[in-house]
Amino acid sequence: MPRPSIILTLGASLAILLAACSSDDGVDDGDPVAARRLTVDLQDGFDGVTVVVIVNGRTVAELESVTTDEMLGLAESVEVEIPEGSTELTVRVGDELEGDVAFDADGERFVGVSLTGGRLVTNVSEEPFGYG
């Protein structure tokens, strides 16, 4: 029969080994689906409307009473993590208006959406928009 001190030593060694193998060391292990940040800025023309933001078929935000701050030219900003590759963004305003834009997300992306003349206008950028 093994002595208790040997069992404790083996158990402690195994626990340390398992902890070392499962620790998050901050190193990218080559995950093929790297996340990218998408920022959707609802910009000009919004006046007390309900807005739904959908990314790749998934609703990521449902906002009520969205109104543009005329001094900034910005109503709301929505940030979401997306996988690298082809991305489809849909923005719905109320029950009658919808706009779509598709783009490749090989890095961080910024999409400005404005309500102009009864339609949605989008602008996809690799750089953030300036406000104020």
Q: Are the CB atoms for 43 and 73 separated by under 8 Å? A: yes
**What is d(CA 66, CA 51) in angstroms, rounded to the nearest whole number?**
7
Q: What is the token pair recorded at 75?
A: 């109503």
Give the tens place of pLDDT for each residue, 11-64: 444 344 334 444 344 434 444 556 799 999 999 999 999 999 999 999 999 999
Q: Give which of 55, 71, 73, 75 is closest to 63, Cα–Cα.
A: 75
Give the tens place of pLDDT for each residue, 68-94: 999 999 999 999 999 888 999 999 999
Instruction: Assess whether pLDDT exceeds 80 at residue 103.
Output: yes
Query: Residue ranges per domain, the chain?
Result: 35-125
Please give the pLDDT value at position 35: 76
The architecture CATH gives domain 35-125: Sandwich (2.60)
